Structure 1
Amino acid sequence: MSHPEIFQLRKSFWKDKTENLLIALLRISEYPESQIAAYRDFYASYVTPQLGPRPEEFGARRPSSYMADDFTPIEFSWAVDANGTQTIRFTMEPLSPTDGAPSPVSTWISSLESLCPYTARSGFDLRWSKICHETLVQDANQEIWADDVSKHGSQFSIGCDFTRSGLVTGKSYFLPHIRSKSTGVSCSAIVTGCMLRLGLETPWTAVYNFLRTLPSGLEVTPEIVSVDCVEPCKNRAKVYLRTNAATLQSILEVMTLGFSLTDPMVAESVHVVRQLWQLLFPTAGQEMTIISHNEQHYASGFVIYFEMVLGVSLPLPKVYIPVRHYCDNDLSIAEAVSSYFVNSPKQYSSVEAIRNLFTHRSLATRTGIYTYVGCAARRTGPQVSLYISPEVFAPEHET
């Protein structure tokens, strides 16, 4: 089969499995049709070519992306601001068109540079992304742990927000675990060096000093650093921490840095996390430890990120509840999120519409479509997010 024929087959496959889902999410969120058309063109020209081969091209070897449990290299999210504005976003890992492995380190900055035509060009800036690239990843052959679900070989992903202006906002994500393994330097030390280069020593010190006070049984490890593709004065760095904390009380303790973040913005988001917790885990109290269904998986733990900007001494947190590893099935997750929005008709309608987009299996079968439910402290009020995997490589698609 010729390369053009392979490319066309891949284009059709990824359109069917992911692009159509994106278009449906944009329509559910009431984006204008003109913007939907523009974002469809962006997705087809920028995203699809980086998603790698179709499942039947892998043979015995499976795809290796860390993005989802079935290794689908893209995840969508539906975010709702306190004022009701709905935004669709995605994060994807660029994969090699040859074998579906993570793309080479040397290609990542050029992949980000290719975003520029789709963004507000005057503000597009990769200075912080380049610092992260220099300080966080390993420029060497990536070690893939194909038979160990507790590890993975991914180091980089790209994110975009589909704004209401018709332009995308680009984001880059860097994972320091392979650099840590290769150099023997801890992820905490590697991330600290990156934050110093970014000029974020003060807010990061607040996080780092808290982490040093944690009891030995409570593990909190920096997993990802993300920055936007904008100039430093408008940028933000987000450090994602993976933790084995599994009680509401311990998660809130990490989220608030030992309850030292007392800003009303944080207090409001804590209240929302409590509400979501009660809906997702109705039998679990504040001190009850909830058990992961897949404890050895690298994505099993809860995630808290801290967002830092220049000139601000304290960070803002966000909690990610890994519902795919803690809830019984996707139906229970959808019902919990619907219950949260029951008094917000537009948002409730959107959640109900989203749950009807997936026809390859019953939501009641298992988890995997809904990956995380998140709540972020924002200056305009708490932002709630629902993260969605297309499950492209799920076994139900193979039958």
Structure 2
Amino acid sequence: MTDSSRVNWKSLVQPDGTPIEYSWKWPQAGAGAPEIRYDFEPIGAQAGTEWDPLCQLAAKELMGRLAMNITEARVDNTWFYHFMSTLFEHDSTKLMAAAARGEHISSTVLMAAEFLPRGVSFKSYIQPRLLGYPGVTPVSVYESSIAGIESSTPARTAVHDFLRTSEEGKLMCPFSVGVDNRPGSRLKWYFNSPHTSFASVRSILTLDGRIQSPHLEGQLRDLEELIRSVLGLPDDFPETEHPAVFLGAKSPYNLPPPPPPPPAQDSPGVDASTPVTFAPGYPYYFDVAPGQDLPGVKWSLPVRNYNIGDLQVAKAFTAWMEKQGRGAYCKRYMSLLARLAATKGTTLEESKGLQEFISVMLKPNGEIDVTTYLAALAFSEAEEGKPAGSLPSPGRRTRRRGSDC
């Protein structure tokens, strides 16, 4: 492990500043091996300084090098560069002045490398940073940027209608866009919901009934069972109640609320209704790429918010996978967790926080895509007891995958 006090930029990939995370996308029954992915934040030597206040130079250089040197990956950075040019303040002087005033300046570009049977592929995740929005960048900013590279699509129209008319949709906060760095990319639009009731999950995954399939009710029952078992909820827990409230969920980031927005005269055109409140909830993404009438919707359970032991989570999760007929890799998963716990100097029985997220997408054909996200634990044990904001950093953190929006 590394002493995190020596790093020049504290990433928000993980609460301790570790800039790496692992994930397993689990195979369907009898369908090969898990797909392995590394999520990471490229960090350059000038990150956090006036030369690179948003820690973006390393990511831009990396994507250019990947396109030149790994030709078989067919890297296409068109969408990446578009969002980088339209979703950020590019005046370093203004950014450094904003940081001095106490505005959040932190991680804005995360990346992923996927190792698949057909070869390696890359992804980018972009979290906007525009001056005048100290809390959540509003939907209109994303819409304007997306419209600059993609004409209106039925899937995006459906999402916009849901956000505008649904009681659950009105509460959702956007926090990122994600693209596959290859031709024919998906366009993933990330949001956080402050609600954690199963009724809210149903509403969002179906866009209030807009998304239908013959398999949907069975998939939703399976998902509800997964949530109950992993969180240890009682069998009679009402679907209208919120597990985050019942269990006292708390984000491990311990972020302070953002500063109040500047006066309107100082930020012309800024929407005064931009939300600025933060609470642990559930993150989602909507895939609004061209070619589909309705978006794919993915939900994530931020396990790390619930202070549950890793062994308890793993046993409940693997039991659910085995019930789904997908238990072929469960023993290897348990072994992996034990090895990760050992790198932390503990046992799986004592460990918490190795399993960060469990994400689910309900497919129209009845399949359920499942991915587990695992902590890399790069920093030394001595640093872990410190409050989340206590380590030296040139900037202040914002949201990580929506769990604090």
TM-score by length of 2: 0.73
Say how many residue pairs are matched: 339
Change beyond 3 A, Cα 1:152–1:303: farther
Alignment partner, residue 143 of structure 2: 192
Counterpart selection for 1:96 from 25, 32, 44: 44
**Whole-Å Cα distance in 2 between the matches of residues 314 and 153 of structure 1?**
33
1:55 match: 4
Q: Which moved more, 1:372-381 or 1:290-299?
A: 290-299
Given that 1:125 and 1:230 are in contact with CA atoms closer than 8 Å, whether structure 2 keeps it comes out as yes
| Cα distance, 1:66 vs structure 2 | 1.2
Determine the C-alpha separation between the residues in 2 that align with 1:260 and 1:145: 42
2:268 aligned residue: none
- In structure 2, stretches of 5+ residues that fail to align are 256-277, 386-405
Give runs of aligned pairs for residues 246-285 of structure 1, distance below 5 A: 246-264=196-214, 269-281=219-231, 282-283=233-234, 284-285=237-238
Q: Distance in 1 between matches of 2:309 and 2:125?
A: 28
Equivalent in the alignment of 2:275 = none
Query: Unaligned regions of 5+ residues in structure 1, if any?
Result: 1-16, 18-52
Q: What is the identity, as a one-letter code, of the residue corresponding to 1:73?
A: P
How many Å separate the matches in 2 of 1:139 and 1:272?
46
Per the alignment, residue 274 of structure 2 pairs with none
- Deviation of the 1:285 alpha carbon: 3.7
1:65 aligns with 11
Which structure is higher in RCO with an 8 Å CA cutoff and minimum separation 6? 2
Cα–Cα, structure 1 residues 216 and 242, in superposed 2: closer, same or farther, change >3 Å? Answer: closer
Shift of 1:230: 1.0
In the alignment, residue 242 of structure 2 is paired with which amino acid?
Answer: T
User: What is the CA–CA distance in structure 1 between the aligned matches of 2:222 and 2:37, rounded to whole Å?
Assistant: 21
- Which residue pairs with 1:294 in the alignment? 250
**In structure 1, the residue corresponding to 2:372 is in which secondary structure?**
strand
Amino acid across the alignment from 2:117: R
Query: Larger helix proportion, structure 1 or 2?
Result: 1
Cα distance change on mapping 1:130 and 1:398 into 2, 3 Å: closer
Correspondence 1:161 to 2:114: yes
Q: Are the structure 2 counterparts of residues 228 and 200 from structure 1 closer, same or farther at C-alpha, using a change threshold of 3 Å?
A: farther
> What's the CA shift string for 1:262-311, capped at 9, x where partnerless?
13576565344223112112324422211243255568321011112212
Partner of 1:170: 122
2:86 corresponds to which residue?
A: 135
Residues 107/396 of structure 1: CA separation in 2 closer, same or farther (3 Å cut): closer
2:187 aligned residue: 237
Q: Hey, what's the Cα distance between the residues in 2 that align with 1:138 and 1:207?
A: 27
> CA separation of 1:107/1:72 partners in 2, compared to 1, >3 Å: closer, same or farther?
closer
Q: Distance in 2 between matches of 1:268 and 1:274?
A: 10
Q: How far apart are 1:93 and its partner, in Å?
A: 0.9
Q: 2:288 aligns with which of 308, 311, 332?
A: 308
Following the alignment from structure 1 to structure 2, what is the Cα–Cα distance between the partners of residues 382 and 332? 22
**SS across alignment from 1:68:** coil
Match of 1:392 in 2: 378
Q: Distance in 1 between matches of 2:89 and 2:227?
A: 37
Shift of 1:217: 10
What root-mean-square deviation, in Å, do the aligned CA atoms of Structure 1 and Structure 2 show?
3.3
Q: Give the alignment's TM-score, normalised by structure 1.
A: 0.74
Return the offset for 1:103.
5.9
Report the Cα offset of residue 396 of structure 1.
5.1
Alignment partner of 2:77 out of 96, 117, 126? 126
TM-aligned CA distance change 1:100 to 1:260, over 3 Å: same
Q: Is the 8 A contact 1:290 1:326 kept in 2?
A: no
Distance 2:42 2:122 in 1: 14
**8 Å contact from structure 1 (residues 75, 388) kept in 2:** yes
Identical aligned pairs, as a percentage?
A: 21
Q: 1:342 to 1:107 in 2, by over 3 A?
A: closer
Instruction: Give, as a single letter, the amino acid of the residue that structure 1 aligns with 2:371.
Output: S
8 Å CA contact retained: 1:245, 1:302: yes
Residues 348, 67 of structure 1: alpha-carbon distance in 2 compared, 3 angstrom cutoff: same
For residues 45-85 of structure 1, what are the alpha-carbon distances to aligned partners after superposition, in whole Å with 9 as ceiling and x for unaligned?
A: xxxxxxxx852524xx8x42111111111111011132443
